Structure 1
Amino acid sequence: MKITDSIKNITSLPVGNTTTNSAKGNEQAAAVSTANSNTGAKVTLSPLSSQLQALQVQIAGTSAFDTKKVESIKTAIANGQFQVDSSKIANELITSVRDLLQSRNG
């Protein structure tokens, strides 16, 4: 099992106006709309802000782990059928540490 940073693996995010379903996002949108209608002020979000909003929506829709896989592993452990390949785990840990060290030094 290789540990990866899933956020770094996202190659493209939409740039521009995005919407969120969260209550906080809706409150912010309402506050901006109110400010615009009361003062005539114009609010423009940076492309980075739009990307961050899109990323937030994307991450909110994903699970941190696979529930079905966790349940199958729990069942295998309970039944005494789960086997650990310690050499494979050790090799993957070494590979992950090398990758982390290279990213820090690179």
Structure 2
Amino acid sequence: MKIDNSVKATGNLPSGEARTRSAKETPKAQGASGGSERVELSSLSARLQQAEEAIANTPVVDSAKVDEIKQAMSQGRFKVDTDKVADGLIDSVRQMLTAQQGQASRA
């Protein structure tokens, strides 16, 4: 199983700080013209930002599930499905080979 965190952070700043920093820098960019520029984000953009924040605040590991498995192991109730493990390993090897073949053909 591969885990890919495809949500990219804005630099090293949390999203709220990045927005605040941009807002503070905007007046400096206006200079002597005195003009006012206004940027409006669509509702889709706002929802996307909310989704990104929700994903960032979601733990990667389900602690309750980990505790449940630990308890099952300590009590001898945890059973490993060897067929599922083997299938997963084979799938991982196939993905690696496919990726290597794709890289070799591009070179």
TM (norm. structure 2) is 0.55
Q: Percent of pairs identical after alignment?
A: 30
Deviation at 1:36, TM superposition (A): 1.4
Q: Which residue of 1 aligns with 2:21?
A: 31
- The one-letter amino acid paired with 2:30 is G
| Alpha-carbon distance between aligned partners in 1 of 2:57 and 2:14, rounded to the nearest angstrom | 16
Structure 2 residues not aligned, in runs of 5+: 32-36, 40-44, 103-107
Which of 43, 51, 68 in structure 2 is aligned with 1:72?
Answer: 68
RMSD (Å), alpha carbons? 3.4
**Deviations along 1:25-59, whole A, 9 cap, x unmatched?**
333322222221233176x8xxxxx8xx8475353
Higher helix share: 2
Match of 1:91, as an amino acid? D
Q: Give the paired residue count.
A: 84
Q: How is 1:5-24 mapped onto 2 (pairs within 5 angstroms)?
A: 5-7=3-5, 24=14
* TM-aligned CA distance change 1:61 to 1:82, over 3 Å: same
Q: Distance in 2 between matches of 1:92 and 1:104?
A: 18
What per-residue deviation string (whole Å, max 9, x for no partner) do you get for residues 4-42 of structure 1?
34446x9xxxxxxxxx9xx73333322222221233176
How far, CA to CA, are the matches of 1:92 and 1:28 in structure 2? 40
Q: Highest relative contact order (Cα 8 Å, sep 6+), 1 or 2?
A: 1
Listed as ranges, the matches of 1:1-106 within 5 Å are 3-7=1-5, 24-40=14-30, 54=49, 56-106=52-102
Q: Which has the larger radius of gyration?
A: 2
Shift of 1:95: 1.3
